Amino acid sequence: MIIDADTHISPTHEDAFAVTIDTLISNMDRAGVDKALTWLRPPYMREIAESNRYVYEATRKHPDRILGFGWVDPHLGLPQMKAEIKRCIEEYGFHGIKLNGAQNSFYIDSPELSLPLIDEIAKMNTVLAFHIGTDAYEATHPYRMGKIAGMYPEMQMLMVHAGGVGFADLSNAAIEVIAEHENITGIGSAIRHINVLKALKKLGTSRICFGSDFPFNLMHVEVAAYKALLEDDFSVAEQQLVWSGNLARVLNLAE
């Protein structure tokens, strides 16, 4: 089984990266991907409730393929976002909540903006995901996520991009933080494949998940790259952890 741990959809159709539910499914079929962890395509500094609702509609339309995940932006108001967290988990049945300090312009460990929402996510006993990459070098640095992981050691967390995105590289810092915190699992999307291999060899195959960052990357190309990356250096059992087993563990998916 292959689970893509990083995919986006959008109801807005505003540009080439605002893809529909049907486009995601057709790309999954082409790539041989069985399921996809799916969150909204960032609408940047606009209301996100409609986009979270669209992800929910995807889980209703394709319950065997789409694993829904929520998204909140503290700039839209802490009370409103706390209500959105509750809606995403209790009403939509999502597997967790994502915070993206790059696209929504905040430091992920901000006591004023981020930590109040993280507290609320912790109360919901769900999974927390962070965009961790070089496109907002200071705001989404791996060390900031490590700080948060230490504050909430019982909460499972996903490190999306594992220090990739853009021309710079934070993969060594990401590997260091994942190694220090057992509650963090990395998603190797939008990062150089040589750095994914480095992470797998340093951390072991139980700490990194496959992800394509679709539609910002081509899903079928990323699947092919991972197959080439994994086939010579890792056993079939180790490969399956990367393809689906690690994410299934973090999300507590039924076998």
Strand order across the beta sheet in which 127-133 lies: 70-71, 96-99, 127-133, 157-164, 184-188, 208-210
Q: What is the pLDDT of residues 36-95, one digit of tens each?
A: 999 999 876 678 999 999 999 999 999 999 999 999 999 999 999 999 999 999 999 999
Whole-number pLDDT of residue 44: 66
Is it the case that residue 255 has pLDDT exceeding 60? no
Whole-number pLDDT of residue 104: 94
Whole-number pLDDT of residue 254: 75
Whole-number pLDDT of residue 46: 79
Q: What is the pLDDT of residues 149-190, one digit of tens each?
A: 999 999 999 999 999 987 789 999 999 999 999 999 999 999
Which is nearest to 161 in space by CA: 191, 141, 183? 191
Whole-number pLDDT of residue 21: 97
Q: What is the pLDDT of residues 79-129, one digit of tens each?
A: 999 999 999 999 999 999 999 999 999 999 999 999 999 999 999 999 999
Q: Which helix (H) or strand (E) holds 96?
A: strand 96-99
Which is nearest to 39 in space by CA: 79, 4, 74? 4
Q: How far apart are the C-alpha atoms of 7 and 101, rounded to whole Å?
A: 18
Q: What is the pLDDT of residues 189-218, one digit of tens each?
A: 999 999 999 999 999 999 999 999 999 999
Contact 169/163 with Cβ under 8 angstroms?
A: yes
Is it the case that residue 238 has pLDDT exceeding 90? yes
Helix 21-31 to helix 219-231 angle, to the nearest 10 degrees? 30
Angle at 157 between CA 155 and CA 158, to 5 degrees: 170
Mean pLDDT of the chain: 96
Contact 172/19 with Cβ under 8 angstroms?
A: no
